[in-house]
Amino acid sequence: MIRKYDIVKILRELISNMIITVKVNSSTDNGNGTFTLTTCNTQYLNDCTYFEVGGNVYTVTQIENDKSVTIQGTPVITTDFNLRAPPFIPDTPKGANSETVLRADDLERIPFIWLLEDFRAEFTKTGGPNVSEPRLRLFFLNASENPTWLETQHRENCIEPMQNLCDRFIKELELKAHFQPSLKSFGNPAFQIK
């Protein structure tokens, strides 16, 4: 039987070891302090994201999901680079909110993966020992602080990058022999796996 705390430990290890690589097909210096990368996977980058590569902080100024990303910062990135694994927060809604508030630095705070703590579990007995089937709800969350965005812009700038992160997470699960997910139902797939 896998206990809830074992699942938290497995997920924490899985998420912290995720390698999230942005593969750079080409890099163009725009001459105005920005450069544009063409890439087939923008990963979880979204408009206004801050990220760090080689000790240098960059800001995404424009993005076309899985096609190109315009970035402000120096030096110009010309090769593939890795993004940090997102924080994993297993907690109640109040606890998760407190933890994100304590992480004041956006480089460490967002995006993040939240495991909604559900202290109930169903037990089944199929001819053998009782088997626990905990209810897990994972949310892939990011900030969306632009009040002028329309629904389409929210989808492009926040939902699609979180869908990329969710897809990457599912691939990681599928690679782990000791952990075989049963993804029975999906809510809005950009935000949660039920």
Please state, in angstroms and rounded to a whole number, the distance separating the CA atoms of residues 33 and 81.
20
pLDDT tens profile 66-107: 999 999 999 999 999 999 999 898 887 888 878 877 776 656
Assigned token pair, 114: 């939240």
Predicted TM-score of the model (pTM): 0.77
How far apart are the two ends of the chain, measured CA to CA in Å?
Answer: 20
Q: How many residues appear in the chain?
A: 194
CA distances from 1 to 32, 59, 130, 178, 179 (A): 58, 45, 8, 13, 13
Please state, in angstroms and rounded to a whole number, the distance separating the CA atoms of residues 26 and 152.
27
pLDDT at residue 158, as a whole number: 84
> Between 27 and 131, where is the model more confident?
27
pLDDT tens profile 105-161: 656 677 889 888 665 656 566 655 555 556 678 889 887 767 787 888 888 888 899
Extents of the domains making up the chain: 4-18+85-193, 20-82
- CA 133 to chain CA centroid, Å, is 25
Would you say the C-alpha torsion 18, 93, 96, 91 has a positive or negative sign?
negative
Given pLDDT bands bounded at 50, 70 and 90, which one contains residue 188?
Answer: very low
Residue 63 has pLDDT above 60, yes or no: yes
- The least confident of 7-16, 109-118, 162-171 is 109-118
Virtual torsion, Cα 69, 74, 75, 78, nearest 10 deg: 0
CB within 8 A of 15, min separation 6: which ones? 85, 86, 88, 113, 169, 172
Residue 191 has pLDDT above 50, yes or no: no
Residue 187 has pLDDT above 50, yes or no: no
pLDDT at residue 3, as a whole number: 55
Q: Pick the most confident of 25-29, 103-107, 168-172.
A: 25-29
pLDDT at residue 7, as a whole number: 79
CATH 2.40.30 fits 20-82, yes or no: yes
pLDDT tens profile 40-53: 999 999 887 889 99
- The answer to whether 146 and 47 have CB atoms below 8 angstroms apart is yes
